[in-house]
Structure 1
Amino acid sequence: MAYITRYIFGTDKLRPQAFEVRGINGISTGVVHCQDAAMLSQWIKHITNNIIGLTNLQMKLYNSSFPASEHVLYMGWVCEGVLNHNLPWQNWKPKFIALKGTDIYMFDTPPLNTHDWVERASVWAVHQTMFRVIKESEYVDERQHCFLLQTAMQESRYLSVETRQDLLRIENAWHRAVYNAVTRLGNKTFAVTQGGRSSGLTLDWAGGFALYDTETREFHWRYKFSQLKGSSDDSKTKLKLHFQNENKEIETKELECATNLQNLLFCMHAFLTAKVAAVDPSFLRAPPKTPT
């Protein structure tokens, strides 16, 4: 549960042909300088493989204490970019994140026992959280391999990992966690109005979208997830869903959310992401690989 880094601690600056390893308690090996780029690459590869392998073993130990629905899918270090009073992005703090059950956990230091999972973590539901890989053109400084975690009603967390492979591991684990969360949730209904009528918009894993009129107690319309061709919103309360009917025509449904719009949008994104992931069931069943 250590991590290896080429960055000068707390900054976005890479050390030339050098690295350090930081332990679970933050203690550093000191800076290790390599003779050339090839030697640097070999050291990073071997140390990273050992860290991933040992962390996966630790995950198995934790999972022996948790029910299957609460198993840990991913654990690892990231760095969080922190703004300093309108100054440029210049402060990076290590954070330890984990995907466990249907939630994402963030720690200042790794959990050492089952009690730490309850007492020392910030926790968000995966189906109410947005994960987005940042394009290079959007980077705020020289840190690479960045992504956003955003939850409704909260600021985004801007995070970075060391390598492209680290980013892919997190992204793959995220898709598995979203799939697990959505299939266990089954369905979710949000209070909305359509044409001034009080209704409920249901997202159902098996059925797709459905609008229920609370006055007539009847469903006004239903569409499969695959029929959704686009959506737009005003970032406040109004949402437009564009569906393709059986005649290949686009039908637009305009809704007004009675509650937080972002909750609905994030949940909708989670259902759609899970449907895409379900196309490849072998991927969903694949456990994290331990490097050899």
Structure 2
Amino acid sequence: EHINKIVIKYLVSFIVYMGWTEEREQDSLQDRMYTPKFLALRGSSLYKFIAPPVTTWDWTRAEKTFSVYEIMCKILKDSDLLDRRKHCFSVQSESGEDLYFSVELESDLALWEKAFQTATFLEVERIQCKTYACVLESHLMGLTIDFSMGFVCFDAATK
């Protein structure tokens, strides 16, 4: 088990996915406007770039960065598609922001899905447990997600 944790710690800094997508503009006046974006899954983060990172410095200049364990990815079926483009997926952030992406081929979509699952698995294995502050009926609460023990919701003041 100790060896597994060392291997997982080493792997989380690896790049699991890099590739071009097209992002559908949310606030566009035009109905079907897409912009090329370069996505990368590296370590605990999803990076969205306007151009591929070339240097170490480029990784700090991503257009947007998300924690993998705080976003959801959904591969869209025909009934979920917003237009005639096939091979689409959405990413929803913890803030509720929805991003909508399209890739060229079905195989690209399958590659993205597998990479996202791998990145999520590696991050869950790495963090094991995470506590969030939340409010329930005007009371400050804590929600602990422990991937080996389960979920616990507790009053923040009294624990």
TM-score in same-fold range (> 0.5)? yes
Match 2:18 to one of 36, 59, 75: 75
Q: Secondary structure at the match of 1:70?
A: coil
Is 1:167 the counterpart of 2:109? The answer is: yes
Equivalent residue, structure 2, for 1:99 = 41
Q: Could you tell which deviates more after superposition, 149-158 or 126-135?
A: 149-158
Equivalent residue, structure 2, for 1:180 = 122
The alignment's TM-score, normalised by the length of structure 2, stands at 0.82
Correspondence list, 1:1-292, <5 A? 68-83=11-26, 85-89=28-32, 91-153=33-95, 155-192=97-134, 199-214=141-156, 216-217=158-159
Change (3 A) 1:190 1:141: same
Equivalent residue, structure 2, for 1:244 = none
How far is the alpha carbon of 1:121 from its aligned partner?
A: 4.1
Q: Deviations over 1:47-90 (max 9, x none)?
A: xxxxxxxxxxxxxxxxxxxx64311001111111125644422x
Q: Does the CA contact (< 8 Å) of 2:47 and 2:62 recur in 1?
A: no
Q: Secondary structure at the match of 2:58?
A: helix
Change (3 A) 1:164 1:115: same
Higher relative contact order (CA 8 A, sep 6+): 2
- Unaligned regions of 5+ residues in structure 1, if any? 1-66, 218-292
How far is the alpha carbon of 1:152 from its aligned partner?
A: 2.5
Change (3 A) 1:191 1:176: same
How far is the alpha carbon of 1:181 from its aligned partner?
A: 1.4
The separation in 2 between residues aligned to 1:130 and 1:183, in whole angstroms, is 17
Change (3 A) 1:137 1:202: same
Compute the RMSD of aligned alpha carbons: 2.3
The separation in 1 between residues aligned to 2:62 and 2:140, in whole angstroms, is 41
Change (3 A) 1:156 1:216: closer
The separation in 2 between residues aligned to 1:172 and 1:212, in whole angstroms, is 35
**Identical columns (%):** 34
Q: Does the CA contact (< 8 Å) of 2:12 and 2:123 recur in 1?
A: no
How far is the alpha carbon of 1:132 from its aligned partner?
A: 0.7
The separation in 2 between residues aligned to 1:96 and 1:168, in whole angstroms, is 17
Q: Secondary structure at the match of 2:54?
A: coil
The alignment's TM-score, normalised by the length of structure 1, stands at 0.47
Q: Write 1 or 2 for the structure with the bigger share of strand.
A: 2
The separation in 2 between residues aligned to 1:154 and 1:196, in whole angstroms, is 21
Change (3 A) 1:195 1:85: closer
Change (3 A) 1:192 1:78: closer
Q: Secondary structure at the match of 2:116?
A: helix
Q: Secondary structure at the match of 2:110?
A: helix
Equivalent residue, structure 1, for 2:7 = none
How far is the alpha carbon of 1:120 from its aligned partner?
A: 3.9
Number of aligned residue pairs? 150
How far is the alpha carbon of 1:119 from its aligned partner?
A: 2.2
Letter in structure 2 aligned against 1:143: R
Q: Does the CA contact (< 8 Å) of 2:75 and 2:88 recur in 1?
A: yes
The separation in 2 between residues aligned to 1:118 and 1:197, in whole angstroms, is 37
